[in-house]
Structure 1
Amino acid sequence: MRIAPLLCLAAALVASTSEAAVRYVIKNRRIEPNQTLAKALHDAQLPDAQVAAVISALEGVFDFRKSRVGDQLRLVMRDGELDFFDYRQSMVDEWQVRRDGEKYVGSKRAIEVEKQVAVVALEIQSSLYEAAVAAGEDPAIGMVLADVFAWDIDFYRDVRKGDTARALVEKFVSKGRLLRYGDVLAATYAGGLVGNKRVFRYVLPDGQPNFFNEEGASAKKTFLKTPLKYANITSRFGSRFHPVLQYLKAHNGVDYGTPIGTPVWAVADGTVTQAGYAGAAGNMVVIRHANGFETQYMHLSRFGEGVRVGARVRQKQVIALSGNTGRSTGPHLHFGLKRNGQYTNPLNQQFPRADPLPKELLPDFLAKAQELTGQMEAVSVAAVAGQATAMP
């Protein structure tokens, strides 16, 4: 398959010298489907010997198995021979091959990344996604907050217009552009339905981070509110008219409409008792939990790494990807919950919280929580002061 040029710069760059003009030609391409790096270089009309030289220079520097469709290539030709080659996957993943005399030398380009701590403030009018965009933030901040409040807030069902969220969060930036969000250090959520939530990140003596409220109680509960970060409930627990079987039938779970391939969480720690095809349920995972609880995840497209009968799984571990297998009318996840062998409604359960901070750690935690609160409030005060100064 031929490569479609990203930007066809056939125009030559000519540099005058005392002896003769040096002709440069720049070729920009992307990796196409079913195309290796070597084939991409051949299709860019690079001579066989120079293709071999580039591949050799990158051996041990770049893992060719990680070459992806859409990766960018740039070849700088000097008088018909390769002078410089650049391979870019992202803002922080870039490899180069430079000519050094009669040989070529490959290296990964060092990208300077700065870690900043900033406050993100969102006011929700319709969704967390749109609130992030309106605030000039990357929509990925919504996923970050969904992680933090996963035990208390279902970001599809519980969000109301006028809710606000604030987070003190790490940002990794390169050349002024956000690469990704890091750890959330503190976060608040004020909701019309869920009330006020405030959590702080605290690293325990064993090195494990966790979130606690301002009094040191764990933000973590024994069960998550949902097995998905975001999802639209398409069918609730109880009797319903079955869309395939065409008769009234008990619906022993909750259906979440979600695209195929959406990561599915284990809602609690447990042991896998079933992982395979189960007829009408399609690909299904069943997990046994403490205190007589069992959860079921149906119509999956794939199972998570290491998910098999007898495997231990952790809360928030991705156990599968959602799908459309079995007796299903469209892509969705069916989530079922049993207690002592009987189905129960997952949406009206009240699960206990995990253990609070040990008393001996409380003074240190409270001091750090106060410091984090001060950082969030300082930004608010500065913003208000700035607005007041700007008033006529």
Structure 2
Amino acid sequence: MRIAPLCLLAALLAGASSEAAVRYEIKNRRIEPRQTLAGALHEAQLPDTQVTAVIAALEGVFDFRKSRVGDQFRLVLRNGELDFFDYRQSMVDEWQVRRDGEKYVGSKRAIEVEKQVAVVALEIQTSLYEAAVDAGEDPAIGMVLADVFAWDIDFYRDVRKGDTARALVEKFVSKGRVLRYGEVLAAQYTGGLVGPKKVFRYVLPDGQPNYFQEDGASAKKTFLKSPLKYAHVTSKFGSRFHPVLQYLKNHNGVDYGTPIGTPVWAVADGTVTQAAYSGAAGNMVVLRHANGYETQYMHLSKFGEGIRVGSRVSQKQVIAYSGNTGRSTGPHLHFGMKRGGGYTNPLNQKFPRADPLPKTLLPDFLAKAQELAGQLEAVSVAAVAGQAPAAP
């Protein structure tokens, strides 16, 4: 939160009439736990009538239900009365209340955001996260890549030192800072374990975007490699010494260590056959898939929206959030897989790819993929059409 410069305050004071000096006071505050905006304004010692005026000015402009802990706000008082108020949730979400005569007027501040298309190049020495930081990128690019390669690469188990990744990706930038990444238009990953992978985004005639390999084969498989975008395996499938029961028993699944509240994906299209608390498994979701497969997701903190017995789910749909319920020694997700009624190791499965592009679309795809491949190999950042190229 920027504070008005002292030189500005000095200028304001210097310009004040000698008959009635103007006194400005600035208060910077944050929303605290279990605190409403009105409560925070009272806590900042703003008079009741002015608190009411601020809330009234923001009616219909700001959804007070979305106020959250850590939001910043600033009060500028002129001779003890509110002259200006601004409320900030992020670099692009900011609201203001200004004094206009005897009334206050609220508005959402317009933030200029530029969309660029950039080449991101990463070389992995320790982790995808560290590679992003070393390249001067937001670590969120790792999650973006994990999403694109979710069918072929587990970004915890499959990554090796010296692996490289490149992505042609949309960046939304404000004041020179990346706010978020948009669509990945093309990406390649060269790994010591997984080998070379390259995918291209292509919008089908029905408007649905999908990813395909260079020859038009689908990048998608019937099952994802992991039910989480990015998490580490803490216990594998097979016999193990149980940490709670204290004896050797079969571990019919894979445990992923992950913080409570991490989104859990459906690894394939399916139908919910269970979504309830289930003793030692805690909160559990069970999905039935094609070809006799079933997947289980245990120790969840809560279920995803609309997840109930009988509902249909799509691959990559968030069906739940990881937790620590049931017989559990710490936050994690237990992921189990059955085929034909018997448990099988999820990490050893080989699943087929989805249908390739129809032959009628292949020439158009190949032409567009060739163009994207050329941009992917470029070193400099290319701005979106209509914008001047950014400096390399």
TM range (shorter): over 0.9
Listed as ranges, the matches of 1:340-355 within 5 Å are 340-355=340-355
Structure 2 Cα separation of the partners of residues 82 and 303 of structure 1: 44
1:23 lines up with 2:23 in the alignment: yes
Listed as ranges, the matches of 1:194-209 within 5 Å are 194-209=194-209
How far residue 50 of structure 1 moved from its aligned partner, in angstroms, is 1.1
Listed as ranges, the matches of 1:190-339 within 5 Å are 190-339=190-339
Structure 2 Cα separation of the partners of residues 46 and 303 of structure 1: 41
AA in 2 matched with 1:57: A
AA in 2 matched with 1:376: L
AA in 1 matched with 2:266: A
Q: What is the aligned-residue identity percentage?
A: 86
> Partner of 1:70 in structure 2?
70
Please give the secondary structure, in 1, of the residue aligned with 2:23.
strand
How far residue 262 of structure 1 moved from its aligned partner, in angstroms, is 1.3
Please give the secondary structure, in 2, of the residue aligned with 1:188.
strand
> Partner of 1:356 in structure 2?
356
Structure 2 vs 1, CA of residues 48 and 296 (structure 1 numbering), >3 Å: closer, same or farther?
A: same
Structure 2 Cα separation of the partners of residues 207 and 89 of structure 1: 33
AA in 1 matched with 2:353: R
How far residue 40 of structure 1 moved from its aligned partner, in angstroms, is 1.2
How far residue 15 of structure 1 moved from its aligned partner, in angstroms, is 3.7
Deviations 1:1-53 (A, max 9, x none): xxxx9989999752423454322111111111111111111111111111111
AA in 1 matched with 2:199: V
Q: Is the Cα–Cα contact under 8 Å of residues 172 and 178 in structure 1 kept in the other structure? A: yes
> Which sits farther off after the overlay, 288-297 or 10-19?
10-19
Structure 2 Cα separation of the partners of residues 171 and 186 of structure 1: 14
Deviations 1:287-319 (A, max 9, x none): 000111000011111111111101111101111
Structure 1 Cα separation of the partners of residues 222 and 109 of structure 2: 44
Structure 2 Cα separation of the partners of residues 97 and 178 of structure 1: 27
Please give the secondary structure, in 1, of the residue aligned with 2:371.
helix
Listed as ranges, the matches of 1:98-247 within 5 Å are 98-247=98-247
Structure 2 vs 1, CA of residues 28 and 310 (structure 1 numbering), >3 Å: closer, same or farther?
A: same
Structure 2 vs 1, CA of residues 381 and 207 (structure 1 numbering), >3 Å: closer, same or farther?
A: closer
Q: Is the Cα–Cα contact under 8 Å of residues 15 and 22 in structure 1 kept in the other structure? A: no
Please give the secondary structure, in 1, of the residue aligned with 2:168.
strand
Q: Is the Cα–Cα contact under 8 Å of residues 119 and 378 in structure 2 kept in the other structure? A: no
How far residue 332 of structure 1 moved from its aligned partner, in angstroms, is 1.2
> Partner of 1:36 in structure 2?
36
Structure 2 vs 1, CA of residues 381 and 303 (structure 1 numbering), >3 Å: closer, same or farther?
A: closer
Deviations 1:318-367 (A, max 9, x none): 11111111111221111111111111111110000001111111111111
Please give the secondary structure, in 2, of the residue aligned with 1:359.
coil
TM-score by structure 1 length?
0.93
Please give the secondary structure, in 1, of the residue aligned with 2:56.
helix
> Partner of 1:386 in structure 2?
none
Structure 1 Cα separation of the partners of residues 41 and 248 of structure 2: 61
Q: Is the Cα–Cα contact under 8 Å of residues 146 and 155 in structure 1 kept in the other structure? A: yes
AA in 1 matched with 2:15: S
Structure 2 Cα separation of the partners of residues 69 and 212 of structure 1: 42
Please give the secondary structure, in 2, of the residue aligned with 1:54.
helix
Structure 2 Cα separation of the partners of residues 9 and 175 of structure 1: 20
AA in 1 matched with 2:147: D
TM-score by structure 2 length?
0.93
How far residue 246 of structure 1 moved from its aligned partner, in angstroms, is 2.0
Structure 2 vs 1, CA of residues 381 and 321 (structure 1 numbering), >3 Å: closer, same or farther?
A: closer
Structure 2 vs 1, CA of residues 104 and 193 (structure 1 numbering), >3 Å: closer, same or farther?
A: same
AA in 2 matched with 1:368: K
4+ runs of 1 displaced by more than 6 Å? 5-12
Please give the secondary structure, in 1, of the residue aligned with 2:145.
helix
Structure 2 Cα separation of the partners of residues 223 and 274 of structure 1: 19
Which gives a bigger RCO, structure 1 or 2 (Cα 8 Å, sep 6+)? 2
> Partner of 2:385 in structure 1?
none
Structure 1 Cα separation of the partners of residues 308 and 135 of structure 2: 42
AA in 2 matched with 1:16: G
Please give the secondary structure, in 1, of the residue aligned with 2:334.
strand
Please give the secondary structure, in 1, of the residue aligned with 2:379.
helix
Q: Is the Cα–Cα contact under 8 Å of residues 275 and 283 in structure 2 kept in the other structure? A: yes
Structure 2 Cα separation of the partners of residues 139 and 369 of structure 1: 27
Structure 1 Cα separation of the partners of residues 285 and 238 of structure 2: 21
Structure 2 Cα separation of the partners of residues 55 and 375 of structure 1: 49
Structure 2 Cα separation of the partners of residues 242 and 378 of structure 1: 51
> Which sits farther off after the overlay, 123-132 or 228-237?
228-237
Root-mean-square deviation (CA), in Å?
A: 2.0
Structure 2 vs 1, CA of residues 9 and 28 (structure 1 numbering), >3 Å: closer, same or farther?
A: farther
Deviations 1:69-98 (A, max 9, x none): 111111111111111110111000000011
AA in 2 matched with 1:67: S
> Which sits farther off after the overlay, 136-145 or 229-238?
229-238
Structure 2 Cα separation of the partners of residues 100 and 15 of structure 1: 23
AA in 2 matched with 1:168: L
Deviations 1:99-128 (A, max 9, x none): 111111100000000000000000000100
Give the length in aligned residue pairs: 378
Structure 2 vs 1, CA of residues 376 and 10 (structure 1 numbering), >3 Å: closer, same or farther?
A: closer
> Which sits farther off after the overlay, 248-257 or 288-297?
248-257
AA in 2 matched with 1:68: R
